[in-house]
Amino acid sequence: MFSTTQKIGILGGGQLGKMLCLAAAPWDFKTCVLDTSADFPAGPVCSEFTPGDFKNYDDVLAFGADKDVLTIEIEHVNTEALHELKRQGKIVHPAPEALDIIKDKGLQKEFYRQHDIPTAPFELFADEQALLDAIQSGRWALPLVQKTRTAGYDGRGVAILRSPADLDTKLLKGPCLAEQLAPVRTEIAVIAARNAADQVAVFPAVEMDFHPEANLVEQLVCPARISPLAEAAAEALAEQVIRAFDVCGLLAVEMFLCIDGQLWVNEVAPRPHNSGHHTIDSAVTSQYQQHLRAICNLPLGDTAQVQPAIMLNLLGDEGFKGPVRYEGVAECLALSGVHVHLYGKAMTAPFRKMGHVTITADTLEAAFEKADFVKKTLRVRS
């Protein structure tokens, strides 16, 4: 429904919430944000800010009471309250049933198995000792990837165990899963959107390059440098996955394109995603506007890419902690097609996500050249 008076409640006031609010502004949509501090990125740009904890049942329930549509910018919210709000007749996207599965990487992997969605072979373990026993007995062999079932993000909660020494230093505690190390050729993400009328639209695949130390996406390339066949298969897989989860809104599907050409789903996020930031500056429809269209059951926007794009996360420089100071921004803005987005975080810390830059050009080669300049020039210090 298109309505400038309906209230859209967003759980979480981080950068994704901020960009969602900004996308809602041209349509005069009322954005209401729940988070612990109005100093967080979305605070200054939302229509209405409610202080509270999105992990707390009572806070979420009270927040939802006068909202028409509820959505999230982070998965780790109180879903019991969302179930209750849905029972009361509120529109909740993504569905809390899907959130319950997605929040737990163990349930997520079992979901893929049940729905014939290709994913790395895996096993769930009660704790790290059970995994060690499985390695001891020869049922699992190194290398393998261990993941904690809940509360992992930005690579925390993921351990790539290659050698026996890693078992002493890298093993993660608690309920976990082990999965095969994927023979990755290219890591990609495909963002799908679906509305209540069951319309589905899929953005072109993006290629994700990881920062070796921080295990954060450092650079993202769109279009992904993969074959047209792999591109078509990835887009079809993303559509299959969003329909399987039965969610409305966005679903970002992270995938491994393996050396043999197979696609494996790594994990999903039912919300705007880091791998879709470039769409603000390089696609007909941004992922944020697409999310709003999808949760309000409006026609989905055109997902076509207008220009090739490279997205760089602006991470706090190593060795700097405190009030943030950006260096080299003006020099970067002197280049055409350099789009700087800062998130409004007052304090920097090593590898903290402070903003991003999207670089567009007529060709990817030209975009890479400008991206190299931006990487060298733009610094996040204190």
Q: How far is the CB of 176 from Mg ion (least distance, A)?
A: 16
Our finding on whether 2 is near ligand ATP (CB under 6 A) is no
**Please, which of residues 140-179 interact with Mg ion by CB under 5 A?**
none
Q: How far is the CB of 246 from ligand ATP (least distance, A)?
A: 22
Our finding on whether 118 is near ligand ATP (CB under 6 A) is no
Angle between helices 15-24 and 287-295 (to 10 degrees): 70
- Amino acid 143 reads P
Total chain residues near ligand ATP (CB under 6 A): 20
Our finding on whether 213 is near ligand ATP (CB under 6 A) is no
Residue number, 67 or 273, with CB nearest to Mg ion: 273
Angle between helices 57-64 and 79-87 (to 10 degrees): 30
Considering just the CA atoms, what is the radius of gyration of the chain in Å?
21
Residue number, 155 or 344, with CB nearest to ligand ATP: 155
Comparing every residue's Cβ against ligand ATP, the nearest one is 182
Rounded Cα distance between 167 and 140, Å, is 13
Assign residue 351 a region: left if phi > 0, alpha if psi is -120 to 50, beta otherwise?
Answer: left
Part in contact with ligand ATP (CB under 6 A); list of ranges 42-50, 130-138, 149-157, 238-246 = 149-157
> In degrees, to the nearest 5, what angle opens at C-alpha 179 toward C-alphas 146 and 190?
100
Q: How far is the CB of 183 from ligand ATP (least distance, A)?
A: 8
Q: Please report where in the chains the tokens 């390059």 appear, as a residue.
A: 209
Give the tokens for residue 201: 């639209």
Residue number, 30 or 109, with CB nearest to ligand ATP: 109
Our finding on whether 187 is near ligand ATP (CB under 6 A) is yes
Residue number, 123 or 331, with CB nearest to ligand ATP: 123
Q: How far is the CB of 254 from Mg ion (least distance, A)?
A: 5
Residue number, 352 or 370, with CB nearest to Mg ion: 352
Q: Which of 310, 119, 146, 327 is nearest to 217 (CA)?
A: 310
Rounded Cα distance between 221 and 50, Å, is 36
**Please, which of residues 11-50 interact with ligand ATP by CB under 6 A?**
none
3-state SS assignment for residue 315: strand
Instruction: For residue 94, say if its preceding peptide bond is cis, omega within 30 degrees of 0.
Output: yes
Q: Which residues does residue 258 pair with via DSSP β-bridges, in sequence order?
A: 184
Part in contact with ligand ATP (CB under 6 A); list of ranges 43-51, 128-136, 153-161, 338-346 = 153-161
Residue number, 18 or 271, with CB nearest to ligand ATP: 271
Our finding on whether 182 is near ligand ATP (CB under 6 A) is yes
Residue number, 120 or 298, with CB nearest to ligand ATP: 120
Rounded Cα distance between 382 and 356, Å, is 17
DSSP string, 64-124: HTT-SEEEESSS-S-HHHHHHHHHTT-EESS-HHHHHHHTSHHHHHHHHHHTT--B--EEE
Residue number, 118 or 157, with CB nearest to ligand ATP: 157
In the complex, the residues that contact Mg ion under the rule CB under 5 A are 254
In the complex, the residues that contact ligand ATP under the rule CB under 6 A are 120, 145, 147, 152-158, 179, 181-182, 184, 187, 210, 215, 254, 266-267
